[in-house]
Structures are given as C-alpha cells and as structure tokens.
Amino acid sequence: MKLAICDDEIVFRKQLIESIDKYYKNYSNLDIYEFSSGEELLESYDSGAVYDIVFLDIEMKDINGLDTAKIIRKYRRNEIIVFLTSHTKYAIDGYEVNALRFLEKPINQEKLISTLDYIDINFSTKKSLLLHTIDGDSIIYLDDIIYLESIRNYVHIYTRVKSDLDGRVKEHKVRKNLKDFLEDLQESCFYRCHRSYIVNLDYVCSYDSRQVSFRINIYNSSQIKNILYQNEVFLSIFGKIIISKVGGVVCRKN
C-alpha cells in the first residue's frame, strides 16, 4: 500500500506518519511518501507515481489542497483523498473532487482510526489492476471495468464514470493482448465472448429472444450485444451464473 502525505508543516507530517505507522504496524507492505507542497506531490504524478491514499492539507501556499486535488483527478486516478484542514468551511468544496473525508487539525486520533478502519473495510477488498497505459500508470478497480476490446497491438479498457448512467466511460489504452488479462480477471464476473472482447457480465442485466441489455448505456454497445446474442455459450450459461438484482446483475459461483 502506498500513502502520500502532503502538508507544509513538517512537525504535523511526522506526527501523522507516526500515527499511521502504528495503525498499520502489522502491515508489511506499507510505503509512506512525504510532500511539503502541492507542487511536489503533482511532480511525483508527472513521474508516474501511483498512491492508494492521499492525505492532503487544504491550506498551503502557492497551490492549495483543493486545486491540487482537482489536478490529481485529471490524471484519471482512483486514489482515496482525505483532506486535512483547520477549517471545516471547505467541506462542501471537497465534493467536487470526490474526497472521502475531512480530518480537522489537530487530528483527533479516534477520527483518524475511524477513517482508516473505513478505508480498510470498504476499499481493501476491492480488486484492482495497475495499468501501464500510454498516458501513464493508472489504478482501476475490476468492478468499474465494463469491457475490454482488442485492437491491433493494444487493449482498450473501458471503465464506468462513477454515478453516471448516460454512457460516459473512461478509456485506458494498454500495449498488451487480451490473454494477458485473463488470469487477473478469472475470479471475477468477466466472460470472453469473442477473440476481441472480454465483457463484465455484471453490466448485463437481461436477455430475451430479441436482444441483450446492459444496465448502463455504453459506446459501441450494439456490436457487443450482437456478439453476445449470437454466442450460444453465453446464452446457455447466463441464467446459471447470473442472478437478478435491482439495477443489475451479480455473479454467483456454483
């Protein structure tokens, strides 16, 4: 796990690192990176850095924490952002960058532990992939992948935009072939329906005698639907491995 702490007060950074180290004392794979300004943190992103959690001070000189977070989100990152602030008035602005929580300075240890507990319970179990895309490194969660498409020497991975059902997706372009992803995806709800496509069946909500339906409107869906509809193996196993669920479907192992 990689954590970034960005705060212009060195004493505060050291205290926070000490508290986090205590929480993760039995965690063998923990790396904590310190930054004294938003510029330093963003430079690390330019160099290809990837973090799981970013603790970010709001009130810093030059570029503040909110503006830093907005730029971080432009990197197509899924990092968990926890803001550090002396003033809760900034809380509303945090929704713009999908911040997880605000911790008020001086940090209350119980609230810090509660935040880390929440992250551990709700995020650590989500499987993710580290992608070396043509735009740089990016972490994506398997649950967010809608489908993968092979085009020549590249795989295009399409992930959903959070809270968006209108067809907006993110595209990640990786120089690999589909079979390179099969091992990473084998325990999840993915199905290779064609030599050029792997589809997340969790986004397929139903099929009947006329069509296959997705629970999200996606670009290029008509071609994928046709492939699935003509795939006899998919049609035969769909009802066995998928159970209906409000708003979509989930996988069930037999």
Note whether 92 and 70 are same-domain residues: yes
pLDDT for the residue numbered 217: 62
Closest of 43, 27, 42, 120 to residue 80, by C-alpha: 120
Token pair, residue 13, equals 């950074």
Total of domains in the chain: 2
50 vs 59, which has greater pLDDT?
59
DSSP, res 19:
H
Please determine, for residue 168, whether its predicted confidence score (pLDDT) is greater than 80. no
**Of 68, 92, 122, which marks where a domain is finished?**
122
Note whether 216 and 135 are same-domain residues: yes
Q: How far apart are CA 140 and CA 126, in angstroms?
A: 10
Note whether 226 and 166 are same-domain residues: yes
Note whether 188 and 245 are same-domain residues: yes
Query: Which residues constitute the domain of residue 175?
Result: 128-251
Confidence class of residue 221 from pLDDT cuts 50, 70 and 90?
low
**Of 54, 88, 122, which marks where a domain is finished?**
122
113 vs 141, which has greater pLDDT?
113
Q: With beta carbons less than 8 A apart as the criterion, state whether 59 and 68 touch.
A: no
Confidence class of residue 1 from pLDDT cuts 50, 70 and 90?
confident
pLDDT for the residue numbered 252: 35
Note whether 187 and 72 are same-domain residues: no
Q: In what order do the strands lie in the sheet with 190-194?
A: 136-141, 128-133, 169-174, 154-160, 145-151, 197-200, 190-194
Question: What pLDDT, in 10s, does the model give residues 131-147?
Answer: 888 888 887 888 788 88
